[in-house]
Amino acid sequence: MLELEANDIHVAYGDLTALWGVSLKVHQGEIVVLIGPNGAGKTTLMRAVAGLQPPYRGQILLDGESVQQMRSHQLVDRGVVLIPEGRRLFADMTVLENLLLGAYAPKARKSMSETIDRVYTVFPVLAERASQAAGTLSGGQQQMLAIGRALMAKPRLLLLDEPSLGLAPLVVADIFDVVRQINQEGVTVLLAEQNARMALELAQRAYILEEGKVSGEGTGQEMLQADHVRRAYLGQVSPLESAPEA
């Protein structure tokens, strides 16, 4: 059973500390969401979990084993796969070539043919455009390709960093439906997302990151009803705050 645990994580870029004692847990089968303003440390935390920005203090455990000193490719071998903000596709390579790059790990390579069929089932448009350069796809199609490439690595834990960034609302809804489907098929998800309402509606549990620290946590529904979340992230105020003065 997959279990991710981050305890008292501190991460710095040179003299600038980006995370101050962040702790969280992700259990097998969950969708856990990180919300917070730009610059709060969401991307840094995702990079730390993925082995791209090791913490200088604290511990990251995967299945009870310390992994914060592992390199990113070793974590991919363990089933931890990051879809970075901005997608980071190889624009001049074809859709198929981008997908095949996702299966470079030995375990993934063994079932590459089966997995690519699964990706094409989830995203039929990728099958239709397999020979097309990735850079010529629409923004939504590029995000689908980024997710498909990650699925080629046979993830146990999928890290999605701002998948809705720059996409139209209808496309975002489609992407979130796919994330739900992937989770229902057995992939655990840790999602960092600016669209707080959609993310919290999707999540079993959520954490709020503000100024590099966890400032709140709870179930997705609890966070949707929390006054601070409603004011800061959902654009709502309580009836008392919105009532006119007598």
**Tens-place pLDDT, residues 92-149:** 999 999 999 999 888 888 888 899 999 999 999 999 999 999 999 999 999 999 999 9
The span from the CA of 106 to the CA of 18, in Å, is: 34
Cβ density class 81-101: b for 16+ within 10 Å, e for less: bbbbbebebeeeebbbebbbe
pLDDT value of position 237? 56
Reported confidence tier of residue 86, pLDDT bands at 50, 70, 90: confident
pLDDT recorded at residue 212:
96
Note whether 134 and 93 are within 8 A (CB). yes
pLDDT, tens digit, 9 for 90 and up, residues 39-61:
999 999 999 999 999 999 999 99
Please write the tens of the pLDDT for every residue from 3-51: 999 999 999 999 999 999 999 999 999 999 999 998 999 999 999 999 9
* CA torsion, ordered 167, 171, 176, 177, to nearest 10 deg: -170
Residues forming CATH 3.40.50.300 domain(s) in the chain: 1-79+155-238
What confidence tens digit (pLDDT) does each residue in 197-224 have? 999 999 999 999 999 999 999 999 999 9
Q: CA–CA separation, 44 vs 124, rounded Å?
A: 33
| Residue-averaged pLDDT of the chain | 91
- Per-residue pLDDT, 11: 97
pTM here is 0.90
Pick 1-79+155-238's CATH classification: 3.90.740.10, 3.40.50.300, 3.30.565.10, 3.40.190.10.
3.40.50.300
Mean pLDDT of 179-190: 95
- Position 241 scores a pLDDT of 45
pLDDT of residue 80: 96
